[in-house]
Amino acid sequence: MALNTGRLLRVDLSGGKVAAETIPESIAADFVGGRGYGIRYLYEELPPGIDPLGEKNKLIMLNGPLAGNKAQAVSRWMVCTRSPLTGAFARSACGADFGAWLKFAGYEVIIVEGKAEKPVYLHLTPDGCEILDAGEIWGQNTGETQAWLNERHGKNTRTACIGPAGENLVKYAAIVSDRRTAGRCGTGTVLGSKNLKAIAITAQRNVQLADPEAYDKLAKEQVNIIKNNGAFQSHKEWGTTATQDITNGIGIYPVRNFRYGQHIDYEKITGEEYRKLRTGDMGCYSCPARCGKVHTVASGIYAGAHSEGPEYETIWAFTGPIESSSIEASIAADQLCDDFGLDTISTGGCIGFAYELYEKGLLKKSDTDGLELTYGSHEPMVALVKKIAMREGIGDLLAEGTMRAAASIGKGAEACAIHVKGLELPAYEPRGAKSQGYNYVTANIGANHCYGYAAQDIFGAPFPRPTDRFSEENADVVIFNQDGTASKETGIVCGFSGGWGWADELFGKLLAAARGVKDFEDKDYINKVGERMFNLERAFNVREGFDRKQDTLPKRMLTEPLHTRKAPGEGQIVSHQDEFLDKYYSLRGWSKEGIPTPEKLKEIGLDFVLKDMPVK
């Protein structure tokens, strides 16, 4: 088989230059692709201590080696950078067609460096890349921007862009493609800081595989496995629009800024209730699930609201934090987030934070532009989404994220800021799903559910072993989930499809057929790559000054008992965080301070990192 390591496009916005590079075989062998390439290039090229919103930060966009071909659910794409929200490594994944189109244009990686003097966009084709004036679309929302680019460059164009939130440097602005978002960690903010409005790709299908015949055969096997899989059928039917039926049932649906584990009016926000407003579905390139369920509001104050969602996290973000039971308001807020280019999880988290401060008297009506932030009241929530995106009034403070907003308010507001490393928590209560909580604690990007999803706690998954969801003795399972996710994200495999029965058998073989590297068929080899990636991301953070001190849940989870209302878990707190970290670090081969040891770095082939690690 011919070796196919992929190509990289380097865009220097300061100098107005673009250049193509071939990715070296050594990088392909050690990091395979996707998120592996992301951290490898970021670690090597980003000097420590740079301003995430300064000219020296770099933004890396990636597809995976499997993207744009017949295999299913492997054409998503990803962004890696230094996060302006957390200061740590950032990884944010997205769907739709953009990842496949990047492959059709001939690339697996775009590295954006520098800063343009005025708003620009990139237009990429298989024949080259131009840096073009974006004056006409600066200020437009993400739908308008994509329509303008389609009009100008034709229907074979797919775009990733920012909306006003990214332009206004909201710390958790998203990158949007079609109506899918790379939401977390403020990757859209970094694009905004570079005056880069959009990346538009015009291309047609173009296969780039080392062994196309073997790949197609494996893809057929994958399709046969998936179509008979029950988890796939259920995901196709519901997407994640009914996940709250499970999480609320077991008392881990966070309500009132993570003080309760069940919604008081839950029967109004069930999957069946959302289904009543469903008007269509959408999906990603080469995936039959089409798990994005489209909803439209027909009547009432939100009549006409229409969103290609909300999916579970967004359903929660616009109901749980303020205990609203308005499905219609959640659809309207989701639509606004997509239009403005905002991460729905951090937006909902910041709004829940503001409601609690209002309840406690730390924010008054005079601070909130006259809005009454009382629980259950959803109109102020929708108004806040707009204010955050435009940095108007109270929105300017909330646009900084809960960690910074709490520090500037003071007076005890920090106790209401629910984040890990500055990233707002997603929709799983850590006190009732402790392995998920400890994934938040130790994830390199902060509190992210996808980084090592604890399906054992939430769905009773039995691999590598079943867990008691209240136990704090599952460090091995947390590591299994995190490294397993990292290894699959070398190919940017959609996290949902990991449960459809094909990945264990076929993932490595597909990688080998795509790259022409036989070693990738070996599961141990690919698992080791996952561990290497996770450790390199940790080393990136250590180099930026992170250590054990930032590995902590919010104080609320460590000191305040959870109130579940009727579910099991009433009174739970996380009480053994220190012991957990000791065990976790020891299993990882890290020091007591959470620094990868020289022995571990050498064992996993990260010798080049040794010089950067403090001795602690």
User: Under the rule (CB under 6 A), what is the footprint of ligand SF4?
Assistant: 73, 76, 95, 283-284, 287, 289-291, 494, 496-497
CA–CA separation, 110 and 133 (whole Å): 19
| Least distance CB 485 / ligand SF4 (angstroms) | 14
| Least distance CB 70 / ligand SF4 (angstroms) | 14
Helices (H), 287-401: 312-317, 327-340, 344-359, 379-390, 394-398
Amino acid occupying residue 330 = S
CB nearer ligand SF4, residue 190 or residue 291: 291
CB nearer ligand SF4, residue 233 or residue 597: 233
Q: What backbone torsions phi and psi does residue 170 show, to the nearest 5 degrees?
A: -60, 130
Q: Are strands 7-12 and 17-22 parallel, antiparallel or unpaired?
A: antiparallel
| Least distance CB 95 / ligand SF4 (angstroms) | 4
Helices (H), 196-326: 212-227, 230-238, 243-249, 271-276, 312-317
CB nearer ligand SF4, residue 93 or residue 190: 93
| Least distance CB 488 / ligand SF4 (angstroms) | 12
Cα 429 to chain centroid distance, Å, stands at 18
| Least distance CB 296 / ligand SF4 (angstroms) | 20
Residue 67 three-state SS: coil
Amino acid occupying residue 154 = G
353, 406 Cβ separation under 8 angstroms: yes
CA–CA separation, 539 and 363 (whole Å): 39
| Least distance CB 178 / ligand SF4 (angstroms) | 11
CB nearer ligand SF4, residue 164 or residue 283: 283
Collect contacts of 306-311 with beta carbons under 8 A, ≥24 apart: 306/279, 306/331, 306/335, 307/179, 307/331, 307/332, 307/334, 307/335, 307/338, 308/178, 308/179, 308/180, 308/282, 308/338, 309/179, 309/334, 309/338, 310/241, 310/334, 310/344, 311/239, 311/240, 311/241
CB nearer ligand SF4, residue 23 or residue 506: 506
CB nearer ligand SF4, residue 108 or residue 178: 178
Which DSSP helix (H) or strand (E) runs through 79? Answer: strand 77-82
Q: Are strands 306-307 and 292-296 parallel, antiparallel or unpaired?
A: antiparallel
| Least distance CB 491 / ligand SF4 (angstroms) | 12
CB nearer ligand SF4, residue 287 or residue 562: 287
**Using CB atoms within 10 A of its CB, is residue 118 exposed (0-12), middle (13-18) or buried (19+)?**
exposed
Which DSSP helix (H) or strand (E) runs through 30? Answer: helix 25-31
CB nearer ligand SF4, residue 422 or residue 452: 452
| Least distance CB 615 / ligand SF4 (angstroms) | 43
| Least distance CB 506 / ligand SF4 (angstroms) | 16
| Least distance CB 436 / ligand SF4 (angstroms) | 20
| Least distance CB 500 / ligand SF4 (angstroms) | 9
CB nearer ligand SF4, residue 496 or residue 534: 496
CA distances from 313 to 318, 344, 449, 487 (A): 9, 8, 10, 24
CB nearer ligand SF4, residue 78 or residue 574: 78
Contacts of 502 (CB under 8 A, 6+ apart): 221, 222, 225, 226, 229
Residue 294 three-state SS: strand
CA–CA separation, 255 and 263 (whole Å): 6
| Least distance CB 398 / ligand SF4 (angstroms) | 28
CB nearer ligand SF4, residue 243 or residue 326: 243
CB nearer ligand SF4, residue 290 or residue 600: 290
Amino acid occupying residue 290 = R
Q: Are strands 120-125 and 109-113 parallel, antiparallel or unpaired?
A: unpaired
215, 69 Cβ separation under 8 angstroms: yes
Which DSSP helix (H) or strand (E) runs through 583? Answer: helix 577-588
Residues in the chain, how many?
Answer: 616
CB nearer ligand SF4, residue 84 or residue 183: 183
Asked if omega into 464 is within 30° of 0 (cis), the reply is: yes
CB nearer ligand SF4, residue 46 or residue 71: 71
| Least distance CB 241 / ligand SF4 (angstroms) | 12
| Least distance CB 494 / ligand SF4 (angstroms) | 3
Cα 140 to chain centroid distance, Å, stands at 24
